[in-house]
Structures are given as C-alpha cells and as structure tokens.
Amino acid sequence: MGVRKPLIAGNWKMYGRRAALSEIAALHAQVGHVSGAIDALICPPFPYIAAAAETARGGSVLVGAEDCSPVAEDSARTGEVSAAMLADVGARYVIVGHSERRSNHGESNDLVRRKAEAALAAGLTPIVCVGETQAEREAGRVAEIVGGQVRDSVPAGGAFVVAYEPVWAIGGNSTPTIPEIADVHRLIRETLQTKFGDKANRTRILYGGSVGPKNAAEIFSAGGVDGALVGRASLKASDFAAIILAHPAAV
C-alpha cells in the first residue's frame, strides 16, 4: 500500500486581510522542520492567493484555493475563477464541494465532480469534501449520503484528496467520536476501492469539523485518518502549528 504522506490543510474561508499573510511565514518557522513528513497547506480567499504564494515561496507551506469554476477554458463567466488562473498565481490545491458551497450555493455532486476535473486539467490537486447533516446521521443515512457523495463527486482519473466533514460538526463544539470517525473513513476507503481498486489505498482521506489544538492528536489516532481540513484554527500560525505538530508523523 505504501505510506500516505499526511496533509493538514487550512481553509481560511472568508476571513483575514492581506496582513494575515504574515502567518504563513510564521507557520513555516514553526513547522518547516517536519515538511518532509507532513504537507502543510493554506487556502486563503481568492484576492490573497497570489500574495500568499509569493510569501510562501521557498518555504515549506503550500498554497491552495477554496473553490474554482467547473469550466476549464477561458470563457464569459463573470465573477468566476478558473483552476488555470489559480495555478497561474501559485495555487497547488483547490477545495471543492465544501458543505458551505453545497448548502449555500446548491452545489450538486455532479457540479463538484466537474470542478474537481477542471482542477486536475489545470494541474491542481482537488480536495473533494463530503459529509452528512445531523438529520441524516440521526436517520441512519450516513453510508447512503457519504457513500453517494464519494461515488458521484470524485473525478474519474488523476490524484485527488477526500475530506470528510460532518456538516453538524463544522464550526461548532461537537465532533464525532473516534470510532465514528474511523467508521466513516473506512466507508470512504471501501467506496473508493470499489470504484478505483488499488488506487484507493494511495488516496489521502482527511477529517474536518471543529479540529483544534486540543483534539487534533486524538482525531489523528482514528483509523484511516490521513490528516485534517482545519477552519478558523488555521488562521493563527501558533494554533495551526500545534495541530500539525500533534500528528504522529511530526515526531
């Protein structure tokens, strides 16, 4: 199977200003020594990606984006940003299908898949988000919802990352239990194996949803967790570094 290098990604969402990019240099100073063992990624808002990439140049921190257009070619799509544009200004990864995009903008599995495919065409690695709501979990539909999102949202070819973010845990104080996290990660891996065979064993699966310095080590202990997708705790280098250094690979 080989060893999957952990990826710990920070999703800044619609927070921060240009001055916040100094946190990237601060993060490098704190975690650069483990860059051979762990990939650290920051995904700032669109206006700051180019400056973030310049700040990160020559360091250990990777830069990505929070979304992209599903259209690969230049076209009349007012307000949209293509994956090729993101790659052109230094992005390496792009998050697609985050629950806030799925719920606030009505993004379907098909649209998320097309965004992931556009990312791959531009040389970016898509991070495909999946996850159930509280009502879906209480109704016993986790396997149906998450399995369906994985089957229908991931691209047919190329290297991608999957991030499991239970919708009810994002931005709150609740997280699934460690066995629950392990169970869903196992479900995702098995779904990928059915679709892709051995390639599934090389695909990194992250956990997201209220990850912070206090619970990161416990979350990383869950079976099948290859890293994390972190929200507001990634805005401050000290907090994000604590999460990264809590991973067993950092030792």
Three-state secondary structure call for residue 11 = strand
Within 8 A by CB and 6+ apart from 241, the residues are: 27, 30, 31
Cα(230)–Cα(216) distance, integer angstroms = 10
- Count the Cβ atoms, other than its own, within 10 Å of residue 81: 18
User: Within its chain, how far is the Cα of 64 from the centroid?
Assistant: 10
218 is catalytic: no
Catalytic-labelled residue, pool 23, 28, 66, 98: 98
Cα(7)–Cα(135) distance, integer angstroms = 29
Tokens (6 digits) for 188 = 């995702």
Cα(42)–Cα(60) distance, integer angstroms = 11
The partner residues of 125 in beta bridges, in order of sequence, read: 93
98 is catalytic: yes
Catalytic-labelled residue, pool 107, 117, 165, 185: 165
The residues that are catalytic are 98, 165
